[in-house]
Amino acid sequence: QVQLQESGPGLVKPSETLSLTCTVSGGSISSYYWTWIRQPPGKGLEWIGFVYYSGSSKYNPSLKSRVTISQDTSKHQISLRLSSVTAADTAMYYCARGIAGSAGLDAFDIWGQGTMVTVSA
Amino acid sequence: EIVLTQSPATLSLSPGERATLSCRASQSVSIFLAWYQLKPGQAPRLLIFDASNRATGIPARFTGSGSGTDFTLTISSLEPEDFAVYYCQQRSDWPLTFGGGTKVEI
């Protein structure tokens, strides 16, 4: 049974860099789109971006200048870095596995429980 | 970007009743739409992908339909564990986007 577990600081200061890790257990990183999605309090879900197992990545244009998603296959970990954070980046951050279909990324079939990050001085 | 509008925002129903949730896209997404269930403190769950395909382990009471710009998630007879927030998501174009959610409450 594949499981995803997000980890990282729950509090980040404005202008600093948010760094989170997603640890994949019970399965391989290969052949999937490893994705970060967030949900600000009281709001809907926002796709942040993904790293494909091959190493390629794609980001939401609204965050592209500030975000980096990478993978460490030896550690079975996916990392998220979001720079120059503000209060607007306060959210629950989810790691999710995107399945590859005939036309690229299909849907997110496995999610972590999420980790809450607050941006505040 | 493609905007997904979900309605209603809140659906108040009783166990055993039928729930009908709507998701409308600002432009055609073909069949490239998925539905997710979110509950507090739990990992979100994929219910439906490609508009009408039930994900592994999802009960038959969950049915997805539609294509183009109009989609529906139907829960034929609500079980107590179905009271949650439901989101639709499109993969037709970048960036991937989600709807605003529908809360199904008792």
Phi, psi dihedrals of residue A118, rounded to the nearest 5°: -110, 130
Is any Cβ of chain A less than 8 angstroms from the Cβ of B90?
no
Q: Which chain A residues touch B91 with a CB distance below 8 Å? A: 104-107
Per residue in A64-105, pLDDT (tens digit) is 899 999 999 889 999 999 999 999 999 999 999 999 877 788
Contact (CB<8Å) A106/B50: yes
Per residue in B1-53, pLDDT (tens digit) is 999 999 999 999 999 999 999 999 999 999 999 999 999 999 999 999 999 99
CA distances from A64 to A47, A60, A110 (A): 11, 6, 24
Per-residue model confidence (pLDDT) at position A55 = 86
Is any Cβ of chain B less than 8 angstroms from the Cβ of A121?
no
Per-residue model confidence (pLDDT) at position A114 = 97
Among A120, A92, A98, which Cα is nearest to A110's?
Answer: A98
Is any Cβ of chain A less than 8 angstroms from the Cβ of B13?
no
Per residue in B59-85, pLDDT (tens digit) is 999 999 999 999 999 999 999 999 999
Whole-angstrom distance, CA of residue B8 vs CA of residue A35: 28
Per residue in A23-71, pLDDT (tens digit) is 999 988 888 999 999 999 999 999 999 999 888 999 999 998 999 999 9
Contact (CB<8Å) B50/A107: yes
Cα of B98 vs its chain's centroid, Å = 10
Whole-angstrom distance, CA of residue A70 vs CA of residue A9: 18
